[in-house]
Amino acid sequence: MRQFVWHEADSYLHRLNPLTKLALAIPVSVLVSLVYEPVTPLVIAALAATATWRLGNVPLGTILRALGFSLLLGFGMFWTGVLYYSGQDPEAASIALGPLRISDGALLYGLTMVTRLLAIFATSSLFVLTTNPVDLVVALIHQGRLPVRVGYAAFAAYRFMPLIQEELGNIRAAHQVRGAVSGRGPIARVRQTIGYAIPLLAISVRRAERVALAMDSRGFGARPDRTYYRTTTVTRSDLLFALGAGAVLAIVILAPRAI
pLDDT of residue 197: 87
Q: 168 with 200: CB under 8 angstroms?
A: yes
DSSP H helices in the chain: 12-15, 18-33, 39-54, 60-83, 104-129, 133-142, 148-177, 186-217, 236-258
Residue 205 burial (C-beta neighbours within 10 Å; 0-12, 13-18, 19+): exposed
For residues 7 and 225, the answer to whether their CB atoms sit within 8 Å is no
- Are the C-beta atoms of residues 17 and 233 closer than 8 Å to each other? yes
Q: Which residues of the chain have pLDDT under 50?
A: 1-4, 88, 90
pLDDT one-digit tens code per residue, 148-171: 888 887 777 777 777 787 888 888
Calpha distance 122→29 (Å, rounded): 10
C-alpha triplet 233, 239, 242: angle, nearest 5°: 115
Measure the CA–CA gap between 250 and 244, rounded to whole angstroms.
10
21 touches 13 (CB < 8 A): yes
pLDDT by residue (tens digit) across 41-69? 999 999 999 999 999 999 998 898 888 88
Q: What single letter denotes the amino acid at residue 97?
A: L
Query: What pLDDT is recorded for position 4?
Result: 46
111 residue type, one letter? L
